[in-house]
Amino acid sequence: MFDAECDMAAIVFGAHEDPDRLLLEFLADLRRSGFQAAGLVQLDRNQCADAGDIRALSLVREDIVSLPHDRSPNSCACLFDTARLGDMARAIDEAIGAGVDLVVINRFGKLEAEGKGLTGLIEHASDADIPVLIPVPEHRFYAWIQYSRGMSVRLACCRNAVNKWWRSVARASRLERDGKLLFLTR
């Protein structure tokens, strides 16, 4: 599934870091430079603070979507509406098939650690040689390494690290062949 040619990066973040804001700023610059991304970016900082919906930005539709979930009273695990998540995954999968420049997955969470959730999108993007960027909470990093079989880059939760990674994968991807290469200065 994953090999040394795979361009996946995990933004590993701690409790006081905000990978969502980082991604939103990075993606805004990417879009202004003419690149297309598909995926989801979570907008609610405290992902499991209360039962209810989690809001996310759909990069395919460029709108705010709701990820209905409930929280088990005995754990902090989010229980997502998998049917709704499946609808969103299909739209992202179509964008991958159309050849976007980058795929962003909102989190490597409990479902993904179990091989569910949005893992199929990661695999499809990898098969299509499209770079994947995913925030991974520190406490799930070991599960991420197991899932990716170590074939990803670990990034600090900072803009400089993401920019440096993007420049390296852009050089090796179809973006360079198209004559577009993004050098972000932040």
The residue-averaged pLDDT of 70-86 equals 56
Question: What pLDDT band is residue 111 in, cutting at 50, 70 and 90?
Answer: confident
- How would you write 39-65 as a 3-class SS string? EEEECCCCCCCCCEEEEEEECCCCEEE
For the chain, what is the mean pLDDT? 80
Look at residue 115 and tell me whether its pLDDT is greater than 80.
yes
C-alpha 107/C-alpha 41 separation (Å) is: 8
Question: What pLDDT band is residue 75 in, cutting at 50, 70 and 90?
Answer: very low
Tens digits of residue pLDDT in 23-67: 999 999 999 988 999 999 998 655 444 456 778 888 988 878 776
Question: What pLDDT band is residue 101 in, cutting at 50, 70 and 90?
Answer: very high
- The CATH code for residues 8-177 is 3.40.50.300
C-alpha 156/C-alpha 143 separation (Å) is: 17
C-alpha 139/C-alpha 78 separation (Å) is: 15
Sequence-distant (≥ 6) Cβ neighbours of residue 126 within 8 angstroms:
1, 2, 6, 8, 132
